[in-house]
Chains A and B, each alone.
Chain A
Amino acid sequence: MSSCCQRLSQVVPLDQSSIATMATDQPITFSVSLDQSHHQMIMDERADGFTSNHEDYEFFQSIGIGCYGIANIQLSRHKPTNRIIVVRQFDLESLDTDKLEEVQNEMKYSSLLSHPNILSYHCSFVSDTLLWAIQPLMHYGSCADLMHSAQSFCNGFRENVIVLVIYVRAKHFRIHEGGRVKLSGIRNLTSTMDSGARKRALHGHFQSTGDNICWLAPEVLAQDLFGYTYKSDIYSIGIAALELATGEAPFAGLPLTEIMMLKLRGHPPMLMRRHENVDPIQDYSKTFFKVVDMCVDPNPLKRPNTTKLLSLSFLKSSRKKSSVIHSSLKDLLLPVVPLNTESLSPPAPLHDQPPPPPPSNNTAVASTPVDPPFRALTLDEPWLI
């Protein structure tokens, strides 16, 4: 499984109009104000009394690895509030200065973002050389996990699911118990606001470009004087839709340089099935292909903007009352069921035994954090000082 720190989106300014471009159920207008009650909810979620003391957290089991393979993701309980959450432990010692800075930015951006469809951190603190970042538990995990582990989705999701989930990249779509889809991977955010001015276009590569090349728009790879804008994110949405439909991003598996050349030459991504005996066309409507085609147009000017995209009938269903969507997404994901935390909480008070692992999860159990690999020092005698 690739690392979890892939690109979310390169052109997401930290202002609300841009957040609206990522929302699944927000109407898109200029500078739209987000629903106040949402904010309240998020603020409550944030001001939630999560403590910066590692002793307040109890691990159940490791449920994944993220961020260049150095973040150990632990299913945990916050003892003072008895809530089940996820602790991401970053081993900072194995990060060089640039990547450390990236992680620092992720935590900062996370605190500056508050949106029901963005997975942000409750809090983060350092203990020894580990950074502990506390996140809400996403009961279904990421869409990529679902496609990789659940039999029913190994060929991708059906169109109606994609409509509900459609944002940027399967790896970063996480599904909450209630069926709310949240976006993770804030590390690679870029602000279009700089020193009190709004940048019209962005330039520059990101550290993770290599890992994310499948999702990057041609103009991002071209790195020319024109730079790129939020339209590059629309391209990524198109690719993500294809990824969700097939279980694999277009171009995946090809050598990096080849992907780059294909994209720069304007080669359109294609719908490919992982298992070739299934006809890719039959499950998806013409509209689906039309929308995806528009999104992945090599010319950014021809791609729809977010307003246009959301006005398409294809996506209209996702703008209905959010509760309806969320319950229906839950049904659509059957037979996969959310991670059951009932059996975890509270752990047996009298016996000091770890609680049984949840039935729906079959990932490897590794409950003790691995010590960071320190190189043994060669000189044992102290300095003469």
Chain B
Amino acid sequence: MPLFAKVKNPLELVKSLRDYLLVLEQHGSGSKKAEKAVEESSKILQQIKSILYGSGDHEPQTELAAQLAQEFYNFDMPFHIIKNLANLDFEAKKDVAQIFNNILRRQIGVRSPTVEYICTKSDILFMLVRGYDNPDIALNCGVMLRECIKHELLAKIVLESESFYSFYTYVELSTFDIASDAFSTFKELLTRHKVLCAQFLEGSYDKVFDKYHVLLNSENYVTRRQSLKLLGELLLDRHNYTVMTRYISNPENLKMIMNMLRDKSRNIQFEAFHVFKVFVANPNKAKPIQDILLKNQERLVDFLMKFHNDRTEDEQFNDEKQFLIKQIKEMSEGDGGKVGGAVGGATS
């Protein structure tokens, strides 16, 4: 921002930004008018950013920042700005994300006014999710969306909507950077707010895990590896006890995980081990689970004895492996799988 230029007040800034965004909406890209609007909105966004964040050694101006936020709500700016995000230029998109995140963290006492505002305008969240469809804005939307779902109220809206399920497509996108970003948002949604997540997973168990199995069998190595790791984390989280019990009583799940133990990728084998251990460590194994384990008793013991023996430094892994070998060895027909008891590090 030029030091001596006339500094507009927040109302003026927001008003003119809105006007330029309207021009963009009406004229599309390419026209002279639109070009000017793109240029001008970049400048305004920079000014807004320096009010909120300060510039150089200058601290942000709290009073102006508060006014600015108020005008943002009054003019529905978060909505309009995200709607037109794709039309802005490269740096302006990043500015938008930073402005949005700054306004989002605003607090008045215990209230978070921006969170309340977005609750009434949940379209904003859905627009951000759909942002992953457009490579030009996907990462910017990801930055904003992850900030939103740090707030439980907003995470709930996303989880309970259909748009949550589009993540199953996004994490498999062929563009690596966008897929990676989508996965971190997906993971955040499923793990951040423990109680909410557990309720969600229980309530939507079938839909969530049906689709999840597609990820576990993805052709994309990274998707497979990451989703398997996340599955292990979800099952071992004590909040998800009910979900875990349900998951490990399904023999189809066990079969899949046992096959993954023998995947050609060592990382996948290793992650599969951390899911497999939950099946074995369960003191109340369902009959079908027990049957499969018994049928493969010798093979499993043999297999585990040779499984990743070079991981000598990982003590927890080695303890767990020994525990599993012992468990499987001691299994016999008719004992209901009730051997052992405490599950070493498996549930920690």
Contact = CB atoms under 8 A, between A and B. Distances in A.
Contacts of A52: 174-175
A374 B101 CA distance: 44
A379 B303 contact: yes
A126 B221 CA distance: 7
Nearest to B297: A384
Contact of A379 (B147, B222, B295, B302): B302
A46 B296 CA distance: 53
Interface in A12-66: 14-17, 30-31, 33-34, 36, 39, 42-43, 52
B302 A108 contact: no
Given A36-B39, A126-B221, A43 B255 contact: no
Dominant SS at the A interface? Answer: mixed
B31 interface: no
Nearest to A198: B53
A384 B251 CA distance: 12
Contacts of A30: 1, 3, 50, 55-56
B177 interface: yes
A97 B264 CA distance: 17
A374 B302 contact: no
Contacts of B46: 31, 33
Contact of A384 (B1, B56, B295): B295
A385 interface: yes
A39 to B, nearest CB: 5
Interface string B212-240: 00000000111001000100000000000
Contact of A33 (B42, B174, B299, B303): B42
A117 interface: no
B36 interface: no
B139 interface: yes
A50 B213 CA distance: 31
B89 interface: yes
Contacts of A313: none
B98 interface: yes
B55 A126 contact: no
Contacts of A196: 98, 100-105, 147
A379 B299 CA distance: 8
Contacts of A133: 176
A42 B39 CA distance: 17
Contacts of A100: 222, 225
A133 B177 CA distance: 10
Nearest to B251: A385
A38 to B, nearest CB: 10
Contacts of A110: 177
Nearest to B261: A383
A239 to B, nearest CB: 25
B265 A129 contact: yes
Given A43-B90, A374-B266, A31 B39 contact: no
B94 A107 contact: no
Contact of A93 (B43, B104, B265, B296): B265
Contacts of A97: 229
B222 A92 contact: yes
B306 interface: yes
B74 interface: no
A370 to B, nearest CB: 16
Interface string B23-50: 0000000000000000100110010011
Contacts of A384: 292, 295-296, 299
B153 interface: no
Nearest to A130: B221
A379 B259 CA distance: 12
Contacts of B177: 104, 107-108, 110-111, 124
Given A108-B181, A196-B104, A377-B262, A31 B1 contact: yes
A344 B81 CA distance: 47
A197 B147 CA distance: 12
A383 B94 contact: no
Contacts of A288: none
A95 to B, nearest CB: 8
Given A14-B94, A31-B46, A114-B90, A385 B266 contact: no
B50 A193 contact: no
B54 interface: yes
Interface string A98-109: 001000100110
Contacts of A379: 262, 299, 302-303, 306
Interface string A159-193: 00000000000000000000000000000000001
Interface in B64-101: 89-91, 94-95, 98, 100-101
B9 interface: no
B267 A93 contact: yes
A304 to B, nearest CB: 15
A224 interface: no
Contact of A124 (B89, B175, B221, B258): B175
26 contacts: A15-B94, A17-B55, A30-B56, A31-B46, A33-B46, A39-B89, A39-B90, A39-B91, A43-B90, A52-B174, A92-B221, A92-B225, A112-B140, A125-B175, A125-B176, A126-B174, A131-B222, A133-B176, A195-B150, A196-B147, A198-B53, A374-B265, A383-B258, A383-B296, A384-B292, A385-B258
Interface of B: 1, 3, 39, 42-43, 46, 49-50, 53-56, 89-91, 94-95, 98, 100-105, 139-140, 147, 150, 174-178, 180-181, 220-222, 225, 229, 255, 258-259, 262, 264-267, 292, 295-296, 299, 302-303, 306
